[in-house]
Each structure stands twice: as structure tokens, then as C-alpha cells.
Chains A and B, each alone.
Chain A
Amino acid sequence: NAGVTQTPKFQVLKTGQSMTLQCAQDMNHEYMSWYRQDPGMGLRLIHYSVGAGITDQGEVPNGYNVSRSTTEDFPLRLLSAAPSQTSVYFCASSPTGSLNYGYTFGSGTRLTVV
């Protein structure tokens, strides 16, 4: 198993550009989430999904869209990038049920918006 795979690893965007951060897992996990990590602010939940076709907003959803058309993939779209979205983005997945095993994280995408 490759686990949770995020692409790209690094990205520089200009203000106003849009892009999609990719996340894929091959563990047949039902739960998937996107977090952003900023210095001193921990990991903040952007959007999460409990299965294909089901998504919900987290703590900081503004400026981001998600969809979950398959169990494996959970892309995060930045609609119009802003400098405030400069951050490290982590995708994570967990087996179905009651989070018995916690979330497994991808290696992250470091995004800079100039």
C-alpha cells in the first residue's frame, strides 16, 4: 500500500490563480480530511468526508471546495488563491466506523501564494 499520496509536494501560485491539490489513498478508508498547518496554530480542519458523495465543512472552509466522487480520491480546490492561503496542507484518511485507528496523514503540500 502507498498509503495517503498528496501531489504536488510544493507549489507557488500567484494571487487570484486557482488550483487543485490532489489526495489519494489506497487503503479503502471511508473517512478523509484536509487540514492546513500554520506556525503556532496547529492543524486546522478545512473540509472532511465520511464517504463517497458526502462532504462537510470544517473549521476554516472559506476559499476552498472539495468533492468526493470515489472512495480513493479527495481533491481540494482553491478557487482564487490569496496570500492568506500560504500554508502546508495535509490530507488524511481513516478506516470506516468510529475512528478506531486514527487518521493517517499524507506527506503534505507546501503552498506559497505570492
Chain B
Amino acid sequence: GENVEQHPSTLSVQEGDSAVIKCTYSDSASNYFPWYKQELGKRPQLIIDIRSNVGEKKDQRIAVTLNKTAKHFSLHITETQPEDSAVYFCAASTGNTGKLIFGQGTTLQVKP
């Protein structure tokens, strides 16, 4: 079955710097890759997603890239702010299976 590996497990940056979180997946049939943000004590919330027919997607300070050949995708956050501090999860899904598998999560700390 699908396996998703996420790195790093923790990331600390200074406010204003960029942050990059990387994920790899095992199932070459995976075609949907969402990213979730989870603040302390809250539920995960979808922040951006990308499909296999697209190489890059941007939404203000957040961007995702996908390399299907290497089976990895990344989350890029520019001009980080303290409110970006949270746990970020990547995930992968295949077609219409309804089965969404998550990575282990990255705890991002943005220091003021």
C-alpha cells in the first residue's frame, strides 16, 4: 500500500525566512497531494493541494511542487510569520479510492 515519508520532523526558522518541508510517496498511481496545517489542540485544516497533472501551485506565501518521476513533493512557505507555527502534514491519495495516507508531520516553529 501507499507509504508517505515526511522530513524534517521539526523545523525552526526566523521570522521572514523561508521554510521547506519535503515528502516522498511510494505508490506511483497516487495523483492527489494535499497539505494540512494543525495548530495546537485543533483539527487539521487543508491549506493547499496539488494534482498529478500539475507541477507547481501557489497561493500567496505558500507553494507546492510535485516531481512525479522522483515521487516527491514539497511545501514552501515564504516570509514566514509567527502564526505559521504549527504542525504540517503532507498526504497522498490514489484516484477515487477515498484512501488518504498521511506523512508523520513536521513541527514548524517561527521565531519572532
A residues within 8 Å of B by Cβ?
30-31, 33, 35, 40-45, 48-50, 56, 58-59, 90, 94, 97-99, 101-108
**Are A48 and B98 touching (Cβ within 8 A)?**
yes
Contact pattern, B 84-100, Cβ under 8 Å of A = 1, otherwise 0 = 00000101010111111
Q: Which residues of A contact B93 (CB under 8 A)?
A: 99
* Partner of A43 from B9, B32, B96, B102 at Cβ < 8 Å: B102
How many A-B contacts at CB < 8 Å in the complex? 68
B1, CB-defined interface residue at 8 Å: yes
Q: 6 A–B contact pairs at CB < 8 A? A: A40-B104, A42-B6, A49-B98, A50-B97, A94-B100, A102-B100
Given contacts A48-B99, A98-B95, contact A42 B43 (CB under 8 A): no
Pick the interface stretch among B12-20, B44-52, B54-62, B66-74: B44-52
New contact pairs (15) apart from A42-B103, A99-B98, CB-CB < 8 Å:
A33-B98, A41-B104, A43-B89, A44-B102, A45-B102, A48-B98, A56-B99, A90-B44, A99-B32, A99-B34, A99-B100, A102-B46, A102-B49, A103-B100, A108-B43
Given contacts A90-B43, A102-B49, A106-B43, contact A45 B104 (CB under 8 A): no
**Are B101 and A45 touching (Cβ within 8 A)?**
yes
Q: Which residues of B contact A98 (CB under 8 A)?
A: 31-32, 95-96
Give the docked Cα–Cα distance between A45 and B4 (Å): 12
- Which residue, of B98, B99, B103, B105, has the highest number of chain A Cβ atoms within 10 A? B98
Q: Which residues of B contact A30 (CB under 8 A)?
A: 98
* Partner of A105 from B43, B95, B104 at Cβ < 8 Å: B43
- Shortest beta-carbon distance from A38 to chain B in Å: 10
**Are A59 and B96 touching (Cβ within 8 A)?**
no
Q: Which residues of B contact A97 (CB under 8 A)?
A: 96
Q: Which residues of A contact B44 (CB under 8 A)?
A: 43, 90, 105
Q: Which residues of B contact A104 (CB under 8 A)?
A: 46
Q: Which residues of A contact B102 (CB under 8 A)?
A: 35, 42-45
- Which residue, of B89, B100, B101, has the highest number of chain A Cβ atoms within 10 A? B100
